[in-house]
Copies of this chain bind each other. A is one copy, B any other.
């Protein structure tokens, strides 16, 4: 079985965006509030939105199951306030829940959290619990910068976030560290802000004792770990200069990278420096880069092809394609028991 740990519902039916547009209109003109009903989306519309996109690509690329979450760039936790974010998150998560019910063999859910710059992470724990216990989700996406490029929240290692981590540990679910769109003109979302957040989070984890406080807390850093594997020597050296333990002890029981790196040399580097137990197959499809690489004639984001080109043992290949995901997302592992 091949599990793609990183997919977003970027192709949701138009009624979802209509709901969001109405919500944003209300922010500008509160008299509109009563007009913003929940989006009406039929099962057929959901099927159509997936059949021609994610499901087609799963079939074409030979992958089986996608760990599926709401569109990351649309989370936009910086817009409105906590009530805005909660209403939007619930609608988006419920839609992911319907996708997973319609296609239980193809999708398993990960939720968006109702974060907001002024919101307490304890409130995100409530929506997390709802999604895990009521919708059957297996994890969440955690935005380390709900301000959208102004980085006004404390580092992920601050006690500020502990109420959410306590719930994650209680439910035994991991978080993918994933920012959303940027309202800071310095940062292009998918070309800078996403990768910067990945790099930033890793360094925060490296310089803290978070995992002493939460030995079973787990994070997936997407986009191949941002800049980290490319600068693996820098990180090993910084840890050593700071008299910290080696990275293997310091963070690698708790931090995992996906394979959303869109060329073979990058994937080769990722696998060369990172322990195989810390790599989860992911493609971010349909996502940041949608075109075909003229150098290969294949989709940039068909990352399975790059992994297929590596000389891995069958055991290692199975870890990357499914075993590691089942360990990092134990609720997924339990769902799949007997199917793998």
A interface, CB within 8 angstroms of B: 144-145, 149-151, 153-155, 158, 184-188, 190-192, 195-196, 199-200, 202-204, 206-207, 223-224, 226-227, 229-238, 240-241, 261-263, 265-266, 268-269, 272-273, 288-291, 293-294, 300-301
- Which residues of B sit under 8 angstroms from A145, Cβ to Cβ? 186
Which of A199, A232, A268 has the most chain B CB within a 10 Å cutoff? A199
* Residue in B151, B153, B206 whose beta carbon sits within 8 Å of that of A187 in the complex: B151
Complex contact A238–B190 (CB within 8 A): yes
Contact partner of A227 among B195, B237, B288, B300, CB < 8 A? B195
Instruction: Give the chain B neighbours of A268 by CB distance below 8 A.
Output: 269
CB distance from A142 to the nearest CB of B (A): 14
Q: Which of B184, B224, B301 contacts A151 (CB 8 A)?
A: B184
How many whole Å from A196's CB to the nearest CB in chain B? 4
Taking a contact as CB atoms under 8 Å apart, the answer to whether B293 and A237 are in contact is yes
Residues of B within 8 A of A241 (CB): 289-291
Q: Which of B154, B234, B261 contacts A234 (CB 8 A)?
A: B261
Instruction: Give which listed residue, B155, B206, B272, contacts A265 with CB less than 8 A.
Output: B272
Determine which residue in A192, A202, A261, A294 has the highest number of CB atoms from chain B within 10 A of its CB, and name it: A192
Q: Smallest CB–CB gap between A244 and chain B, Å?
A: 11
Alpha-carbon distance between A200 and B236 when the two chains are bound, in angstroms: 23
Given contacts A188-B204, A203-B192, A240-B291, contact A223 B232 (CB under 8 A): no
What are the residues of chain B within 8 A of A187 when measuring CB–CB?
151, 200, 203
- On chain B, the residues within 8 Å of A144 by CB distance are 186
| Most interface-central of A144, A184, A263 (chain B CB within 10 A) | A263
CA–CA, A301 and B263, complex, Å: 27
Instruction: Report the minimum CB–CB distance from A340 to chain B (whole Å).
Output: 30
Q: Which residues of B lie under 8 Å from residue A227 when comparing CB positions?
A: 195-196, 199, 226-227, 230
Contacts A155-B186, A188-B203, A237-B301 supplied; 14 other A-B pairs, CB < 8 Å: A151-B151, A151-B186, A154-B185, A154-B186, A186-B204, A188-B204, A191-B206, A196-B199, A231-B261, A231-B266, A234-B263, A236-B300, A240-B294, A266-B269
